[in-house]
Each structure stands twice: as C-alpha cells, then as structure tokens.
Structure 1
C-alpha cells in the first residue's frame, strides 16, 4: 500500500516482519475521551484479531501502545492499527473503522487550524463550507470519490483507497481556499474519470497477460 511503504522500513527486519520488541504509540484524544473509549472497546477485539497486534491503553499518559503478537505481524499491520486509533480519536464510527481495516484503505487527516489559523470564526466558516447546508457538500464529495469523510474537532478525516482519498483531500483543500462548490465538484469528477480510466486500463492489461 503506497501510503505506508516508507514507514514500514523503520519497523521491519530483513524478512519484512516486525521484531517482537517493537512498539508503536498513538496519542489518545484530549477531549471526548468517553466517545473514544466507547468506540474503542466495541472494536478492540476485531482490531487485534485482524491486525495480529495487542492494544493497551495508558490513560494516565494519554497513550495507546501497539505491540505485535505474532511472527506474521507486518509493519503495515502496526501502522494500520495506529491509523485506526487516530480515526477513532477524530470521531469515526465503528462501521467506518471496519472499512479502514481493509488492506487497500488509508486514513488521511486535514488539520483545519493549521491551514486557516486560530480564529474561531474563520475555522467555523471553513468547517461550514466543508460540511455544506444539511451536510450536502461533505456527502457530495463522498459520493463523487467513494470515500468516507468525518468532520469534527477542527479536523477532517478521510477513509478510502489511496487514489480516491487523495482526490477527496484535494477537494476539501479547494473548499478551504474558498473555491466555489460547483467548481470543486467538477474538478473532482474530472479527476475521478481519470482514475476510472486508469483502473479499466489496468484490468485489461492484466487480462492480456493471462
């Protein structure tokens, strides 16, 4: 998976597996901890089983420790677990997290405050543009790109396969810059047509090789 290849090398041994002493840490959210714990506890066993890892929460230090439990645990499994913790922290639901566990799914995070500054009014305005009236802008971007988007706590999270998540991120960046919604949608639709053409070409090339 393209989004994690570089960080895989830091964790893996020569066989491409994680050394048993390796641990990865994820930060707990400082606010809305009760929501996090509720969602985390409801999916913890699924995460550990699917990713072959062990999760321990240290509430005193606001950390989640991720450890390998099998010789088959890969660096991708460890980093996927960290992404899952981040997704729960942002506010994604259990159902959304299940999608993130798919091998081809990635999590992208946009920090609104880092892009627009500390002004509460400006942040509120930008978040409103991303969500849209009755949630229509967010839903439209999700439908065009085939991704799952969560907006909250000055953050936007995107779950989807790499190409589609990047396109959704681009659309949200354009909205942050102040581009008109209709202009953004047209741009995303054009980018998605290119992705579908590339996917179709790849399928036919694989058939020709058989």
Structure 2
C-alpha cells in the first residue's frame, strides 16, 4: 500500500488494511509553520551590560533553544526567531522570558534558570500599585525593602528561594509561583511600613516550611 505502513487485519473472509502513520516529529511540525519573530526593546540603562554579556546570552539561545538571534542596532531591540532547527515548541517563549529577565536587571546565571526549568516565572509589579508614595516616602519604602547593605533583600531571597531586582518604580521577582507569592507578601508588607523584625519572623517560618518540603 504505497509508502504508508499498513497493518493487516483479517475479518471473516475479508482482508482489511489499517493504515499506520509514523509519528510526526516536533521539529518537522515547527518547520512547516510560519516563522514567528519576537522583538524585545532594550532599555537605555541595560544597553552597555547587554553588549558586555552578549556571548553569555547568545550561546544558550542558539545552542540550547536553537533560535535565530540578532541585535537590531537601529531599533535597539533583541530579535528572536524560530528556525528549521528549532525542536521545542516553547523555545521562543522561553527565549523571550530569558532575555527580558536579563534586561530588567537579573544576572545571566539567574535568568538562565528560566530556560532550564519549566516551573519558574518572572513577576513584576509597580510600587505605586501597593501604595501611592512620593518623594522621601518613596525612597524610604525602597530602603526598607533593600535593608542596610541589601541585607533585607538577601534575607527574603534566601528564605523564599527567589531572586529580586529593585528599581526606582518596580519590583521584579524570579522564582516558582508559590515562592513568588511568599516573597511578594514580604515586599508588600515592607512597602506598607511593617517593621523588619516582624517580617524576619515570618520569613523564618516560611524558610522552615520550604526546607521541610524539600
């Protein structure tokens, strides 16, 4: 029966051929689809770090995710495109999340976890969405979250197994869904004015619970 494999079935006196199709490879399915392009704008303050770390960012995108990557110097955007070699249907989304994580301020080593693990996410929220603050009140709120020499931020990261980046108006948290919620609750409480000692006690409880689970 042509080139399609067939399975011979005998039904009474009749011989019936049941077609048996070989499984379609993911790569072939992606190659037949229309190529998709993702464009990620590069903020002005991350342009120099991107140039310095370009090889570290380029290699996992091309070698592991098998994407086509280029830096558009005119529009100042990182452009990602799936090609014939792309064998993972979610590679383009993973690549975009990886690049965005670096551009908001995460280290390449931390952002790489978005490529290697499937249950990690990047959550971003505005400080003004928690509480409208202006002038010195806004600066003090960021200072409470960071702590002296960044100790409060490191404590939240270590207790909740997340990574946090603080900017002038936004907070970015990288981790699993549940751990992001733990870290977010601690950050929001500090922005609202909770004393650091109270947050430390809550974080100890969370850390003990997470350690028991693992």
> If the TM-score is normalised by the length of the shorter chain, which range does it land in?
0.7 to 0.9
Give the superposed CA RMSD.
2.8
Q: Find out whether 1:148 has 2:166 as its counterpart.
A: no
Question: 1:22–1:68: 8 Å Cα contact kept in structure 2?
Answer: yes
SS of match in other structure, 1:55: strand
Cα shift at 1:68: 1.4
- Aligned pair 1:126/2:149, yes or no? no
Separation (CA, whole Å) in 1 of partners of 2:140 and 2:44: 24
Following superposition, the deviation at residue 164 of structure 1 comes to 1.4
Q: Closer, same or farther in 2 for the Cα pair 1:153/1:87, shift >3 Å?
A: farther
Local SS of the residue matching 2:116: coil
Change beyond 3 A, Cα 1:48–1:114 = farther
Which residue number in structure 2 is paired with residue 105 of structure 1?
120
Contact 1:53 1:78 in 2 (8 A): yes
* Equivalence map 1:61-76=2 (5 Å): 61-69=75-83, 70-75=85-90
When the two structures are superposed, what TM-score results if normalisation uses the length of structure 2? 0.71
Structure 2 vs 1, CA of residues 39 and 91 (structure 1 numbering), >3 Å: closer, same or farther?
farther
- 1:26 paired with 2:40, answer yes
Q: Tell me the distance in 1 between the aligned counterparts of 2:82 and 2:133.
A: 39
5+ residue gaps, structure 2: 1-25
Q: How does 1:142-181 map to 2 (within 5 A)?
A: 142-181=157-196
In structure 2, the partner of 1:91 is 105
- What's the offset of the Cα at 1:132? 0.2
Deviations 1:90-145 (A, max 9, x none): 22222222333321322222333554447343332221111101111001101111
Q: What is the TM-score normalised by the length of structure 1?
A: 0.72
* Aligned equivalent of 1:35: 49
Relative contact order, higher structure (CA 8 A, sep 6+): 1
Work out whether 1:82 is the aligned partner of 2:82.
no
Aligned residues: 184
Hey, what's the Cα distance between the residues in 2 that align with 1:41 and 1:62? 17
In 2, Cα distance between the equivalents of 1:171 and 1:21?
42
Instruction: Please identify which structure carries the higher strand content.
Output: 2
C-alpha distance after superposition, 1:23-52 (max 9, x if no partner): 222221133421233223432112332223
User: Which is higher, the Rg of structure 1 or of structure 2?
Assistant: 2
Q: Is the 8 A contact 1:147 1:160 kept in 2?
A: yes
Q: 1:32 to 1:65 in 2, by over 3 A?
A: closer
Distance 2:76 2:89 in 1: 25
